[in-house]
Amino acid sequence: MWDSNVNVIVSLPDWIDKVVDWNGVYATDEAKMRVAIDLAAANVRRKTGGPFGAAIFEARTHRLVSVGVNSVVRLNNSVAHAEMMAIMRAEQRVGSYSLHGADRDHVLATSCDPCAMCLGAVLWSGVRRMVSGAGRDDALAIQFDEGPVFPESYAYLESRGIEIFRGVLREEAAAVLDLYRQLGGPIYNA
Amino acid sequence: MWDSNVNVIVSLPDWIDKVVDWNGVYATDEAKMRVAIDLAAANVRRKTGGPFGAAIFEARTHRLVSVGVNSVVRLNNSVAHAEMMAIMRAEQRVGSYSLHGADRDHVLATSCDPCAMCLGAVLWSGVRRMVSGAGRDDALAIQFDEGPVFPESYAYLESRGIEIFRGVLREEAAAVLDLYRQLGGPIYNA
C-alpha cells in the first residue's frame, strides 16, 4: 500500500558548492545574474536538468541566500523549476514564508523569464526585485513554453511593489539555452 | 555557516489519514470535490493552514492518488499551496514528472480556483481535467488574492487540452473560507 506519509524532498544536485561562492558579495544586477547563468550552464554541462538557474540575495548586503537549478527530470517533479527551488530554500533559510520584511528584503535573479507558475511564486515569495536574463522568445526557440504569462502579469507584480528588470546579460543567458539544444537535452514539456 | 545541502521537505500534517479514505472510488466530479473540501475544512478546524484542499485522482479508476492542504505557514513555504502539494506528491507516487500518459491520466480537484502559481503548475503537471469549487470572489471576500490570473489564463490551459470545470459544490467550498474567517485564521499574503 502507498504510504501517504512519504515526503517530497526538494534537493539540489551535489555539485552546487563547486560552482557557487557562498561568501561572495554580488553588488550589481549583473553580478547577481552571472550567478544564475553559471548555475544554468553547470546544470546543462553536468546533465542534471534543464538550462535554467536562479539565485536569491539579500537586498541590503548583496549576499547570496539560496540557489536553484531546474530539477524537473532529476526529481520527477514538474514544480522543481530553478526559481521555485531558490524560493523554497531561501524561505527555509530565513525561517519564514515571506522574504519581505524590515531590513531583510530580497532580490531574485533568474537566467530566463519566469514561467506562469514561477511568476506567481515570485509574487507570493515577497521578493522585492526580480531580474531575468533570457526572454520568452529565447526559451521558445528551444521549445520551452512559459505558459499563460501576459504583459498584464508583469504589470500585476509591479503594481504590488515588485521591481522587475528583464534582459540582464541576455546574450550570455540565451547562450546557455543554445548550449542545451546543441547537447540534445530533453524538452520535457513540449 | 549555512549548509547549502539542507533539503526542503514538503510534508503533510499528521491528521491526513484520519480524514481521507485512500481506498475510496470517487467516480464523479462532486465526489472528488468533496475530498478536496473535506481536506480544506479539516485544515481549518485543526489549525494547520489556510482554508484550501486539493486531491488528485486516476481518471480511469477514480482512485485517489495524492492530497494536499495549504501549508504555507506550517512549513514556512510560500509555495506550499494545496494544489502544489498534491501535484508534487502525485508525481512522486507515479515516479514521473508528468501525470499525463497512456492509460494513466489524472484529475485534479481543488476546493478553490487556483492562484496564478498553481494554475501554471496544473499546466506543467500534465493533469487532463481540473475541477474547482469556490471562486476568485469567494477567496477575495476573505482577502486571499489569486494573483495574475486572467480569462486568457484558463483559455491557455484549455487550448492545451485540459478540461476545466469550475464552481463544483461552490457553496460548500465557499463555506470553508467563511469558517476560516470566523475562526480568525491568518491572511498571510494580504
Residue of B6, B10, B121 lying closest to A7 (CB–CB): B10
Cβ under 8 Å to A: B residues 63-102: 66-67, 72-73, 75-80, 84-85, 87-89, 91-93, 95-98
Residue-level pLDDT at A29: 98
Q: What is the DSSP string of B145-170?
A: ---S--HHHHHHHHHTT-EEE--TTH
The catalytic position among B30, B58, B83, B152 is B83
Q: What is the DSSP string of B53-81?
A: EEEEEETTT-BEEEEEE--HHHHT-TT--
Report, in this order, helix, strand and coil percent for chain A, each rounded to 5: 40, 15, 45
Q: What is the DSSP string of B9-28?
A: EE---TTHHHH--TT-B--S
The verdict on a CB contact (< 8 Å) between B123 and A147 is yes
Helix (H) or strand (E) holding B111: strand B106-112
Residue range A158-184, pLDDT digits in tens: 999 999 999 999 999 999 999 999 998
Query: Is pLDDT of A56 > 90?
Result: yes
Looking at the complex, does the CB of residue A179 fall below 8 Å from at least one CB of chain B?
Answer: no
Residue range A132-155, pLDDT digits in tens: 999 999 999 999 999 999 999 999
- Cell numbers for B66: 495524492
Tell me which residue of B31, B18, B21 sits closest to B107, measured CA to CA.
Answer: B31
Residues ≥6 apart with Cβ < 8 Å to B24: B31, B35, B63, B64
- Report the sign of the C-alpha dihedral through residues A111, A113, A115, A117, in that order: positive
Q: Which of A117-121, A180-184, B152-156 has the lowest mean pLDDT?
A: A180-184
- To the query of whether residue B172 is one of the catalytic residues in this protein, the response is no
Residue range B103-116, pLDDT digits in tens: 789 999 999 999 99
Question: How close B10 gets to chain A, by Cα (Å)?
Answer: 5
Question: Is this prediction's ipTM beyond 0.90?
Answer: yes
Residue-level pLDDT at B82: 98
